[in-house]
Structure 1
Amino acid sequence: MLEPLVRAALLEDLGRAGDLTSDAIIPADASARTRLVARQHGVLAGLDLARLAFRTMDPDVKLNIRLEDGVRLAPGDEIASIEGNARAMLSAERVALNFLCHLSGVASATATIADAIRPFGTRVSCTRKTAPGLRAVQKYAVRVGGGSNHRYGLDDAVLIKDNHIAVAGSVTEAVKRARAFIGHMVRIQVEVDTLAQLEEAMQTGVEAVLLDNMAPDMLRVAVSMVDGRAITEASGRITAETAPAIAQTGVNLIAVGWITHSASVLDIGLDAEP
């Protein structure tokens, strides 16, 4: 799954004529030594894609990986040293860093939430709000950052949302139709934004409920109503600052979309040695 992503990114960057700058300036047989270095505090993720980018351009490149995915980084930390063909290395640089910086940013964003709610036993979960084509690696980065994955796509679980309920006519009818359609191994989760909807959902015997945009006081009542009969998941513009109060209500999970779709990159650079 990783190789097509990296090859597509290299093709996008190199286009029809390759790296004009490196080809013009650097002799074809020149070699170079570089280091991947962290510029910020954060969590490392995406090394496999970076490594694949360099090795796709130069199968003989030597990579000495010093740190592994999941490590907490500090500015100046050396992640890896690289030795190989200079042209190939510089041609792969941007693709390698794009994956590495982005996925480390996702892992770091996830860690800010995971760290904030750890004392309460609540887990942070990602959503399907991912960049097209990058869902697998973004969800991987969430796990590296200490989070959990929600459903991978539309095909591995049922999540009945407000529009489904509106079309079906009620929570009960939506759940009834879903149960008649799916196999016995598939779970059903229902999104609710009122306690009345929650009560109706619990009467249908669903396995999980998504408590959407509920204030902490309301969440606490909702968790009490569920009373362990289903997995409880809170959602709705949750940040590292607001997450602890939500976790204190006793919800099992906190769903956060921005850790994938809006996470800032983590600054990591490639430094060439003289």
Structure 2
Amino acid sequence: MGAPSEHYEYLLPPSWKGQVMAWLQEDTPSFDYGGFVVGEALREAFLLGKGRQTAILAGKPFFTEVFTQLGCEVEWHMEEGETFEPIKHVATVRGKARHILLGERVALNMLARCSGIATKSRRILDLARANGYKGIIAGTRKTTPGFRLVEKYGMLVGGIDAHRHDLSSMIMLKDNHIWSSGSITNAIKQARKVGGFSLLLDVEVQSEVEADEAIDAGADIIMLDNIEGDQLKDVAARLKEKWTGKRKFLFESSGNITETNLHERAINEIDILSTSVVHQSVQHIDFSLKIQKPKDL
């Protein structure tokens, strides 16, 4: 069993419960025909972790809130971040039959994706550590519109860094910003003027020469784009040696990172490995919610 995660639900903003309400409104915009059939008899349903793989449970507060808004109670039999083998009785939901079924698909879809992201994140982190990498594994902002909070939450439960959440949480200057402003130096000066001291500045560069310019202009993080293999290691080592004692910065490498090539990118000259592999096209974890047949029926 994996170590239980900390109470990451304490991180959630005041708006998150409104998002859950929006999910329910989207799923039942008018009549609930199936709910009419089952009525309001009190029932108990088992949440089962299925599929064929060992998985990590992630998304408990969102799942619970779905059923809380529907007047149901959820009793969890696992901690957030724990690993389970299928088939596992993960939780029990109690409430009126039609309310359980109103929340069923919304809650399961969310839990399947959040747990899938946590499971993939943990696997990538474990592979990196097995290769001796001591730096940061991070996700990216290539998340699903309207579902980012859940996806970033899954990354945290999986043990990796969630990276920036939005355009306001860190300044990242990529090729389009640089070309539009004229140069790396100009872009950094403009960004620092409005971002002030409280925001980190992450700048994407295409070469060692561009990296030198970004470091000299005061970037906090240098993203070495399209530089891989031995060249990546050599460039990072040279730059760190050159700027030691003159500037403080971190190196980031991103893009085209997979489980297969991770050992080539997980080099300790790079401080941050950011990848969308932990959340884009990730395999969902299979869960089902089964209402139990009353003993008197």
Question: What's the TM-score bracket when you normalise by the shorter of the two chains?
Answer: over 0.9
1:29-62 CA distances to partner (integer Å, 9 max, x unpaired)? x12211111113221111111111112112xx33
- 1:151 — aligned with what? 164
1:27 match: 39
- 2:55 is equivalent to residue 42 of structure 1: yes
**Cα deviation, residue 161, structure 1:** 0.5
Equivalent residue for 1:12? 26
1:71 aligns with 2:90: no
Equivalent in 141, 152, 159 of residue 128 of structure 1: 141
**Is the 1:64–1:82 Cα contact (8 Å) retained in structure 2?**
yes
The unaligned stretches of length 5 or more in structure 1 are none
Cα distance, 1:126 vs structure 2? 1.3
Q: Pick closer, same or farther for the CA change 1:126–1:27 going to 2, 3 Å.
A: same
5 Å-filtered alignment, 1:39-188, equals 39-40=50-51, 41-58=54-71, 61-118=72-129, 119-188=132-201
Q: 1:156 to 1:63 in 2, by over 3 A?
A: closer
Which shows bigger deviation, 255-264 or 137-146?
255-264
- Paired with 1:266 and 1:188, the residues of 2 have a C-alpha distance of 36
In the alignment, what sits opposite 1:225? 238
> After the TM superposition, which segments of 4 or more aligned residues of structure 1 sit over 4 Å from their partners?
none
Alignment length (residue pairs): 269
Paired position in structure 1 for 2:226: 213
Kept in 1: contact 2:57–2:115 (CA 8 A): yes
C-alpha distance in 2, partners of 1:181/1:54? 43
State the match for 2:253 in structure 1.
Answer: 234
| Aligned AA (1:223) | A
Q: Which residue of structure 2 aligns with residue 254 of structure 1?
A: 273
Cα shift readout 1:92-143 (whole Å, capped 9, x = no counterpart) = 1001101111111111121121111123112211111111112222111111
RMSD value over aligned CA atoms? 1.6
Task: Indicate conservation of the 8 Å contact 1:107/1:141, yes or no.
Answer: yes
Once residues 78 and 214 of structure 1 are traced to their aligned partners in structure 2, the CA distance between those partners, rounded to angstroms, is: 46
Give the TM-score, by structure 1 length.
Answer: 0.92
d(CA) in 1 for partners of 2:285 and 2:39?
A: 32
SS state at 1:232 partner: strand
User: In structure 2, how many angstroms separate the alpha carbons of the residues matched to 1:164 and 1:62?
Assistant: 49
5+ residue gaps, structure 2: 1-14
C-alpha contact (below 8 Å) 2:139/2:162 kept by paired residues? yes
Residue correspondence of structure 1 range 197-212 to structure 2 within 5 A: 197-212=210-225
Q: Distance in 2 between matches of 1:102 and 1:70?
A: 14
Q: Give yes or no for contact 2:124–2:278 (8 Å, CA) kept in 1.
A: no
TM-score normalised by length of structure 2: 0.86
